[in-house]
């Protein structure tokens, strides 16, 4: 591929994990992509000075959803201004391929790809309910990839290989992991501390990702209880922490959900109740309908429910999870993209 590839999107870890998977795969094939993100959100902390990238651009954009009046107008103006910057980037680097992983960071580069002649847009939709940006732009996309869409040419989610290599069938219940995501989840954190004495009586070890904001408070709570839990704010080795556990209580963001599936770890999902269009609930529902997990609304979460679930046949769920997702999703998606780009190159000659 003589022209450069743009990968765009982010804002939150879920979107950025998928971007990272694409960057890795293109590098394996000798292609250094360009990343276009935002100065707001987590984009810079993930990809600034990343040697796998040909170049990075972080634009001053913010989300439009949930904003009103002047805030919405300001955000739209910022996106429009950033979109014109993207035209310049596309022209300079002869961009013919743009891959959007969603999130507000993706808006300028995605709109620019739709309005640029000869530029193909590919979209990866993470969630079971399509985000607003993808709703608007998917009709212009060459391909839309989604693990929740039966029409998607590839239905598996781009999960890092480490989650597969650290997977195992759970035959005994010895360790529980609580996952609120890298940002933490106060409701899950509070629930973990509440049930900790009962879990401790059962001889179960506790692993707990608290998020940065709640780390000190929750660490102190375990100390007061006299329970030696493995408590941490964030780790890049979360797959190893999952490997140590036999059961998980987690939010249901798409990346975490499919990572848990890849790890064959039976899970009680507690969807974030304020997620846009309740997408965390529908993410988990997609898995629950296949009898591969449990779901509980946050306001219904209680100790009796968890203890009852822990008595169930979770080994069968763990075995079934082994075949719930294939490990070659990102390779298959990039194969499709590169095949279409080669076909376009031949036609242009």
- pLDDT of 77-93, one tens digit each? 788 899 999 999 999 99
Reply yes or no on whether the pLDDT at 67 is more than 60: no
How far apart (Å, rounded) are the C-alpha atoms in residues 189 and 184?
8
Q: Which of the residue ranges 70-79, 267-276, 338-347 has the most confident prediction, judged by mean pLDDT?
A: 267-276
pLDDT (mean) for 323-346: 88
Q: What class does CATH assign to 162-321? A: alpha beta
Residue ranges matching CATH 3.40.50.2000 in the chain: 5-159+327-348, 162-321
**Banded pLDDT at 346 (limits 50, 70, 90):** low
Helical residues (DSSP H) of the chain, grouped into ranges: 13-28, 43-47, 69-93, 107-115, 132-137, 161-165, 186-201, 215-225, 238-244, 254-262, 279-288, 303-310, 314-321, 329-348
- Please report where in the chains the tokens 């935002």 appear, as a residue: 38
Burial 255-292 (b: 16+ CB within 10 A, else e): bbbbbbbbbbbbbbbbbbeebeeebbbbbbbbbeeeeb
**What are 330-333's contacts with CB under 8 Å, separation 24+?**
330/21, 330/22, 330/24, 330/25, 330/158, 331/25, 332/154, 332/156, 333/22, 333/122, 333/124, 333/145, 333/154, 333/158
pTM: 0.90
pLDDT tens sequence across 237-281: 999 999 999 999 999 999 999 999 999 999 999 999 998 889 999
Domain 5-159+327-348 CATH assignment equals 1.10.3720.10:
no
């Amino acid at each position: 591929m003589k022209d450069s590839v743009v990968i765009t999107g982010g804002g939150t870890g879920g979107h950025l994990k998928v971007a990272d998977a694409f960057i890795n795969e293109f590098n394996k094939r000798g292609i250094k992509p360009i990343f276009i993100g935002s100065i707001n959100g987590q984009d810079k902390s993930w990809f600034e000075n990343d040697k796998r990238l040909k170049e990075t651009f972080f634009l001053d954009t913010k989300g439009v959803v949930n904003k009103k009046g002047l805030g919405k107008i300001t955000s739209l103006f910022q996106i429009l201004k950033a979109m014109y910057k993207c035209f310049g980037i596309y022209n300079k680097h002869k961009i013919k391929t743009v891959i959007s992983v969603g999130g507000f960071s993706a808006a300028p580069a995605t709109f620019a790809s739709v309005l640029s002649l000869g530029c193909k847009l590919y979209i990866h939709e993470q969630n079971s309910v399509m985000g607003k940006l993808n709703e608007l732009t998917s009709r212009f996309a060459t391909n839309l990839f989604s693990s929740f869409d039966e029409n998607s040419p590839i239905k598996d989610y781009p999960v890092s290989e480490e989650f597969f290599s650290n997977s195992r069938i759970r035959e005994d219940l010895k360790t529980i992991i609580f996952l609120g995501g890298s940002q933490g989840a106060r409701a899950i954190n509070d629930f973990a501390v509440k049930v900790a004495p009962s879990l401790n009586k059962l001889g179960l070890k506790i692993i707990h990702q608290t998020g940065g904001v709640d780390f000190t408070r929750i660490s102190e709570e375990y100390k007061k209880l006299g329970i030696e839990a493995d408590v941490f704010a964030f780790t890049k080795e979360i797959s190893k922490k999952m490997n140590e556990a036999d059961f998980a209580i987690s939010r249901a963001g798409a990346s975490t959900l499919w990572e848990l599936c890849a790890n064959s770890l039976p899970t009680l999902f507690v969807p974030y109740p304020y997620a846009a269009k309740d997408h965390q609930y529908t993410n988990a529902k997609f898995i629950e309908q296949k009898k591969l997990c449990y779901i509980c609304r946050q306001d219904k979460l209680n100790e009796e429910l968890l203890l009852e679930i822990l008595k169930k046949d979770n080994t069968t769920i763990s075995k079934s999870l082994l075949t719930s997702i294939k490990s070659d999703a990102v390779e298959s998606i990039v194969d499709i993209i590169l095949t279409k780009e080669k076909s376009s190159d031949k036609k242009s000659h």
